[in-house]
Amino acid sequence: MPDHAAAPWLYLASQSPRRRELLAQWGWRAELLLPDTEAELHALEALEAVQPHEAPARYVQRVTRLKLQAALQRLQHRGWPPGPVLCADTTVALGREIFGKPADAAEAAQMLQRLAGQRHRVLTAVALAHQGQVWQGLSRSTVEFAPWSAAEIGRYVASGEPLGKAGAYAIQGRASQWIRRISGSHSGIVGLPAFETAQLLRAAGLALP
């Protein structure tokens, strides 16, 4: 539970260490608000299922809202002190096709083969709940990959980095060697857009460090 003497702080409903690191860089201390049972974890993963004909932007915003609602219920159930709750979700889209987290190495390789040499979109939705209100934002960026050879993809997948990452890559990791250019928010592609997140915090009346 948070130490009220140390400010500013918020609850972060995300397992991503990158999001926590970004908040720390911006001067925020994040108290993790995560599932603590297998049942809770599976229920959270089930929220990421794509609905038929769902557009990528609508998808990532819907999933983020649902994850925020689940986090608020978790906070209430645990009886922890009230505080702002931040949630974010990232998806990769090639056209209208949504690339989530690969289930295994084979699916990661398939995703990267599709993305190699192409431009794709990275969409990160952010939602903040504070004192009974909810604010939401959406970051849209474009990433262009240079062509990858099958051997390069195989070595990258073997590193383990693609697993657990939307689109099977991490821009801050080894995949950056094949990124020809980006347009938009680098922090949004990492997983938590600085500008949109700051906007939500300001709208909620929370003091920025």
* pTM assigned to the model: 0.91
User: Per-residue pLDDT for 97 more than 90?
Assistant: yes
Three-class SS string for 62-131?
HHHHHHHHHHHHHHHHHCCCCCCEEEEEEEEEECCEEECCCCCHHHHHHHHHHHCCCEEEEEEEEEEEEC
Name the token pair of 42: 């599976």
Q: How confident is the model at residue 3 (pLDDT cuts 50, 70, 90)?
A: low
Q: Domains in the chain, ordered, with CATH? A: 9-203 (3.90.950.10)
Tell me how far apart the alpha carbons of residues 46 and 43 are, in angstroms, rounded to a whole number: 5
Indicate the residue type of 125. A
**Looking at per-residue confidence, does 209 or 156 come out higher?**
156
- pLDDT mean across residues, the chain: 93
Widest distance between CA atoms in the chain: 53
pLDDT at 48: 86
Cis peptide bond upstream of 8, omega within 30: yes
Q: Residue 145: which of 173, 103, 124, 114 has the closest Cα?
A: 114
pLDDT at residue 7, as a whole number: 63
Q: According to the model, what pLDDT value does residue 6 have?
A: 58
Average pLDDT on 51-67 reads 95
* Tokens of residue 165, six digits: 């990452």
What is the pLDDT averaged over residues 33-42? Answer: 84
Dihedral over alpha carbons 97, 102, 106, 111 (to 10 degrees): 30
Confidence of residue 71 (pLDDT cuts 50, 70, 90): very high
Give the distance, in angstroms, between the CA of residue 1 and the centroid of all CA atoms in the same chain: 23
pLDDT at position 208: 77
**78-93 pLDDT, tens per residue?**
999 999 999 999 999 9
* pLDDT tens per residue across span 152-206: 999 999 999 999 999 999 999 999 999 999 999 999 999 999 999 999 999 999 9
- Which residue of the set 3, 36, 89, 104 is catalytic? 89
Neighbours of 152 (CB within 10 A): 16
- Label the pairing between strands 97-99 and 133-145: unpaired
Report the percentage of the chain scoring pLDDT > 70. 97
Active site residue 104: no
pLDDT at 130: 97
Q: How far is Cα 128 from Cα 68, in angstroms, rounded to an integer?
A: 8
- Dist CA 8 CA 24 (whole Å): 10
